[in-house]
Amino acid sequence: MIIPRIYSIHDQAITIEFSQTIDEQINMQVIAWQYEIESNPFPGFIECVPAYSSLTIYVNSDCNIDDLKNHLQKKINITENKNHFNVFSNNQDAKTIEIPVCYDSEFGFDLPWLSNTLKLSIEEIIQLHSEHIYRVYMIGFIPGFPYMGVLPAQLETSRKQNPSLKIPTGSIGVAGKQTGIYPAEIPGGWHIIGKTPLTIFDKSSESICLLKAGDRVKFIPITKKEFDQFQ
Amino acid sequence: MSITILKPGISASIQDLGRWHYQKFGIPVGGVMDKFSASVANIICGNEVNDAIIELTLHGTEIVFNEDAYCCISGHGCTAYINDTKIQFDRLIKIKAFSILKTKPTRYGCRAYLAIAGGFHLNKIMGSVSTYVPSSIGGINGRNLITGDIIHFTHKINKTQKDNTIQISESDFAYANWHINITHQHSESNQTTINCVIGPEWSLFNESSQHSLFNTSFTVSNDSNRMGYRLGGNELSLIQKLEMISSAVAMGIIQVTPKGQPIILMADAQTIGGYPRIARVCAADLPKLAQCRPGDIISFNHITENESFHKLSGIQKKIDQLKISVEMTNQ
């Protein structure tokens, strides 16, 4: 049984830390708690931010964080004792989203290096990467960047020693046990294996982000021609 | 009605109290660095505390008023002039059309706030006008202000018959006939004491680092900005190497890099961080911290979580009190 740690990170923010691991079951707990709190907001509640294995709750001056800590502790105790907190029923909002990816070496410019390092052919890398379904653990680092996992063990690598100065928008990267999509052109240390024609972050759209924590992602390989034709 | 930026100075940007509700998409809260001074300027103008405001970093800004306007400047880091006459901070001022506001260097502080009665008119993105430069969100085209920018405002004085009668005769500006004494936390000095609560990873730091944090001083480095303050001083180290799983952050967290350098996360910090957090700044002291400029010396004072929360409530009361005082002067 996990005993979460509850602590403040600001006079108006509390973190519930479920563990210090990247684990699907733990992240499901995080998202379940996020939904639970968002659907039953208390006075002073502003927002919740899920991460791999923790949930942070931001409040305003209408809420005393000591009271909030006690309230959360009680809620956690009830959940632990009665075991009534159904993780799965609280994750119903999560979607499975298919994301087309062109793994052409023009976009996946680190494929040759990865192939060499991982002792896998480029085709094997593409197959391994696209046959798995990944969980979106959290969005962060820059606006709209989804941290997804868990990558098949054969594809695990460390980050680049020297980050690339410009990674194009839509690039698909891998690092450690994770895979991600670059929502904007920025420097980055992940190895780039392809590119999606989809817009995953749009600050002026209603939904802002195509993905949210708790969603599942399946990458669908497409050809260069299909990529170019994608509207 | 509008103002035109003649010179942005070292840096000037449109802000409000931040872009809340979007951190789960990786969008930082941002907003003004010194919430207290920004709130003071807006309240004196009869605005809401969350109304758009211009954050002026240090000096060198020049702004022309294209129409008569009521405004207030609050904060620190510069002195302000209207057509070469020095003006007071924390006062409601009526400024004549075509007058020029200039800011000049001073020795202390870092950020001043210009509010205009009625508020600046800007499109909100995700509920806020705050400028977040790294992702080009908010403000004018998501960037800091530049020469030639025109910012519109509505001339509106709330319930202020009196203020409308501020007489501008020969001069280019005039003060309202009321004055409220504001006690800013910022001391006119380059040395500041900041109250802190120990952080979630406090116990994982070795004793000498724990001792250093509260018994030695740190210097705000030159590469400090709206995202974070990097501090120079004693190296802080963990008892043993630690791989942390990233989690959400907040303004004021003092995280320590693998090289032992403390960084205090400020308004524009990323939403997620993975460095150990030795301590966090009491939220009531964030305005004071936001007024520290590169080269300033900071000492940290250890307080409890409860003390920290009460200090914040104290600031909130001060702001509420100010609102009431301003309303009363206008009755």
Compute the distance between CA of residue B57 and CA of residue B138 in angstroms, rounded to an integer: 18
Segments making up each domain of chain B, as ranges: 2-184, 191-314
Compute the distance between CA of residue B136 and CA of residue A47 in angstroms, rounded to an integer: 23
* pLDDT tens-digit series, residues B257-311: 999 999 999 999 999 998 999 999 999 999 999 999 999 999 999 999 999 999 9
Q: Look at A19-23, A76-80, A152-156 and tell me which has the smallest mean pLDDT.
A: A76-80
Which among A9, A49, A66 has CB closest to B24?
Answer: A49
* pLDDT tens-digit series, residues A26-39: 999 999 999 999 99
Confidence at B117, pLDDT banded by 50, 70, 90: very high
Q: Is the pLDDT of residue B161 over 50?
A: no
Scanning every residue of chain B, which has its alpha carbon at the shortest distance from the alpha carbon of A211? B25
Q: Look at A98-107, A149-158, B260-269 and tell me which has the smallest mean pLDDT.
A: A149-158
Q: Look at A79-88, A112-121, A214-223 and tell me which has the smallest mean pLDDT.
A: A79-88
Which among A15, A55, A142 has CB closest to B26?
Answer: A142
Task: Write out residues 48-77 of A within 8 Å (CB-CB) of B.
Answer: 48-56, 58, 61, 64-66
Between B24 and A73, the higher pLDDT residue: B24
Cβ distance of A208 and B126 shorter than 8 Å: yes
Q: What is the DSSP letter of A152?
A: P
Q: Look at B181-190, B221-230, B285-294 and tell me which has the smallest mean pLDDT.
A: B181-190
How far apart, in Å, are the Cα atoms of B44 and each of B95, B132, B140, B196?
15, 26, 25, 30
Model ipTM value: 0.94
Q: Look at A121-135, B9-23, B164-178 and tell me which has the smallest mean pLDDT.
A: B164-178
* pLDDT tens-digit series, residues A187-207: 888 999 999 999 999 998 888
Sequence length of chain A is 231
For residue A72, which amino acid is it? L
Kindly state the average pLDDT of the residues B189-214: 97
Tell me which residue of B181, B243, B184, B255 sits closest to B213, measured CA to CA: B255
Helix (H, G, I), strand (E, B) or coil at A71: helix
Return the HEC string of A154-178.
HHCECCCCCCEEEECCCEEEEEECE
Contact A69, A14 (CB under 8 A): yes
Quote the pLDDT of residue A90: 58
Kindly state the average pLDDT of the residues B163-181: 79
The token pair at A226 is: 């299909």
B191-314 is a CATH 2.40.100.10 domain: yes
The token pair at B60 is: 């060198």
Quote the pLDDT of residue A175: 92
Quote the pLDDT of residue B165: 61
> Nearest C-alpha of chain B: how many angstroms from A225?
31
* Domains of chain A (ranges, CATH numbers): 5-91 (3.30.1360.40), 96-229 (2.40.100.10)
Quote the pLDDT of residue A173: 96
